[in-house]
Amino acid sequence: MAANPQLRGNPYIVQTDLKFAVAPGEGSNRGGMLRQAFAVGAAADTNIAIAGISPNDKVMSILDLTTPSDLSAQISVISAGNIQLAVSTVAKNLWITWLDAE
């Protein structure tokens, strides 16, 4: 894929070819499904609703689109449909990517 000249020099935009493969049995019997969701942040250790996520899923990344920064080390899936972050993300836009185990 040729790089878009309008994107050159912008440190917040990455253009790439993404190839994703899941080994059979990893995540689920059907190989798992890559899912993504947008959410607005909250105070530290506060539930953030994410439809479809469950404690059995593998979180691949959680990105703060406002700052930008990678918050993947800060996330916990508390229960079906709820995540929490160990840091405050009040007024932040979050992009969550996970491998759906179900």
> Mean pLDDT per 10-residue run, the chain (102 residues)?
43 38 48 85 96 92 95 95 96 93 74
How do the domains of the chain map onto residue ranges? 33-100
Output the pLDDT for position 95. Answer: 94
H helix and E strand count, the chain? 0, 7
Output the pLDDT for position 23. Answer: 52
99 and 67 in contact (C-beta within 8 Å)? Answer: no
Largest CA distance in the chain: 43
Q: Which amino acid, one-letter code, is at 34? A: L
Output the pLDDT for position 100. Answer: 87
